[in-house]
Amino acid sequence: MSTTDRFDRQVRFAPLGPEGQAAIEGARVLTVGCGALGGVLAQELCRSGVGELVLVDRDVVELSNLPRQVLFEDRHAREGTLKVEAAQESLARIGGPTRLTVHADHLDAENIAELAEGCALVLDGTDNLATRYLVNDWCVENDVPWVYGGVVGSGGLVMPVLPGKSPCLRCVFPDPPPPGTLDTCDSAGVLLPAVAAIASLQAGLALRILAARDLEKLEPAILSVDVWDGELRRLSGDRREDCPCCGAREFPWLHSPPGRRPVVLCGRNTVQVPAGGDRPDFAALERRLEPTTRELVNLGALLRLAVDDFRVTLFPDGRALIEGTDDVDRARALYDRLFA
């Protein structure tokens, strides 16, 4: 089957047309996170024929992911598969022209330029505010559009950011709120229909931006959706002349990021501890830790083990996920005990 046949119904949509489809097929897109939002985004863009899809995710698949993260299966959770590897496997079965590039990494100020190089668009499938403010900084500075998406409970928000043309994230939210003041999927839960609705709105905006059709008619707005109450609201917004990012051109999350500290992962009772130094030698660690730990498995792409009441996953870059606690100090102490 030819590419023309595959995307025939899409091309027949007049606002897209063959020129828009050709632009989509020639585009490189970065999706940050491939869990809930990111999984739906990746699937929809892959099925739409985007040229290259770059997936970045730091996590492994767990059983509690399965009700809302559409690219993963039971066996991925049982085996603790890296999310990017499971996503690549699932997306590859779709076929089509999309090239898949995956990175099992935590997006930060040090690697965002490399990971986003050549990308026409960045999509937000992440679960933390610091990464979103980093993406906003990089995209505004480099004049690359991105689409914000956030979901919790039965609803969420979507906002396209077109640098120089629309409000950026800091026009609307100048600074992130204090930790603990917003609901998360841990405190309020989350429903797959809400995830799917928000991600689909993001994907629709993504196709329109990539196709570069009628963008002058794309009015800046925040879309608010609640699938439980059946509510859809459109909140207009304007660029702020005093915006510290797109107005004053200040990019602190990009150029002056705070020191890397352990991060509590949303709804997981898990802490991510950043790399402590050199890249770990898995073989040497396996020999040293085997007498004092349980269920130690060297999978090549990661090292998994159990100790005390915790399960630990160590990545090749030195990051670790400490499952069984949301106490960052306790997680850091365990990391130092095992790997320092």
Q: Which residues are catalytic?
A: 185
Q: What CA–CA distance (Å, rounded) separates 125 from 54?
A: 12
Handedness of CA 33, 37, 39, 44 (dihedral sign): negative
Which are the contacts of 230, defined by CB distance < 8 A and separation ≥ 6? Answer: none
287 token code pair: 């020999």
Cβ atoms 98, 52 nearer than 8 A:
yes
Q: What CA–CA distance (Å, rounded) separates 93 from 91?
A: 5
Which are the contacts of 1, defined by CB distance < 8 A and separation ≥ 6? Answer: none
Cβ atoms 116, 102 nearer than 8 A:
no
Of all helices (H) and strands (E), which one includes residue 131? Answer: helix 129-142
56 token code pair: 């970045």
Q: What CA–CA distance (Å, rounded) separates 242 from 262?
A: 32
Helix residue ranges, H only, 53-189: 74-79, 83-92, 112-115, 129-142, 169-172, 185-188
Instruction: Output phi, psi for 117, to 5 deg.
Output: -60, 130
Q: Count other Cβ atoms within 10 Å, centred on residue 150.
A: 17
Q: What CA–CA distance (Å, rounded) separates 53 from 198?
A: 19
